[in-house]
A and B are shown apart, each in its own frame.
Chain A
Amino acid sequence: GAVVSQHPSWVICKSGTSVKIECRSLDFQATTMFWYRQFPKQSLMLMATSNEGSKATYEQGVEKDKFLINHASLTLSTLTVTSAHPEDSSFYICSATEGGLYEQYFGPGTRLTVT
């Protein structure tokens, strides 16, 4: 149980274009989803928290107009990186929790490379 999928697993895009990453909970209803970014050999950095049907809450320093998050249903959240630049190249990972629980289940991650 508690499986989270992400799509795509990797993507290469050109500078200035937008990329959408999907995160799905496959066998549970994800009341809360989280988006993280991780640079090589660094720790996880929380970008934002989203609840189904509500606007996402962004962490300090994360540009909400650049990283658009939509938690459209209890099983799907999307992250859109708009006008991507090479410095946005990173490993993006989503996670989800069920009900009022704190256990986060992570998707496999999406490796984004902006050229």
Chain B
Amino acid sequence: QKEVEQNSGPLSVPEGAIASLNCTYSDRVSQSFFWYRQYSGKSPELIMSIYSNGDKEDGRFTAQLNKASQYVSLLIRDSQPSDSATYLCAVALSGGYQKVTFGTGTKLQVIP
């Protein structure tokens, strides 16, 4: 089992819809979770951090964490074509000395 798993996609959603991106992780004691966005040919950009169970909202983005199920998700409301990118889930595993483990990413395509 991979340490951080994501569906590679592509996930296609129409403009204006809600995009739901999911991630599971293997280490039960992980405490820090992140979502990064990476446009093609560019480096990743941090968009959300979440540390506690529940929801965290920032603009059109909502991160959801369920530690019991070892599951973290990212919802993008009112999806725009500019949201088309690969979304990377990252988890700080225990004993990682600030290192995080990245999933392989989910490619999101927002169709105009």
A residues with CB within 8 A of B: 31-32, 34, 43-44, 46, 49, 57, 91, 93, 95, 97, 100-109
Among A46, A57, A106, contact of B45 (Cβ-Cβ < 8 Å):
A106
A36 to chain B: closest CB distance in Å?
A: 9
Chain B neighbourhood of A49, CB < 8 A: 97-99
Minimum CB distance partner of A101 in chain B: B98
Q: Across the interface, do B98 and A107 meet the contact criterion of CB distance under 8 Å? A: no
Rounded to whole angstroms, the CA-CA distance of A91 and B34 in the bound complex is: 22
Q: Across the interface, do A104 and B100 meet the contact criterion of CB distance under 8 Å? A: yes
Interface size class of B (residues with CB under 8 A): 20 to 34
Q: Which secondary structure characterizes the binding site on chain A?
A: strand
Q: Across the interface, do A106 and B105 meet the contact criterion of CB distance under 8 Å? A: no
- B residues 23-80 in Cβ contact with A at 8 Å: 32, 34, 36, 41-46, 49
Q: Across the interface, do B102 and A43 meet the contact criterion of CB distance under 8 Å? A: yes
20 contacts between A and B (CB under 8 A): A31-B98, A32-B97, A34-B99, A43-B88, A43-B103, A44-B88, A46-B99, A46-B102, A91-B41, A102-B32, A102-B34, A102-B100, A104-B34, A104-B46, A105-B46, A106-B36, A106-B44, A106-B46, A108-B42, A109-B42
B18 at the interface (CB under 8 A from A): no
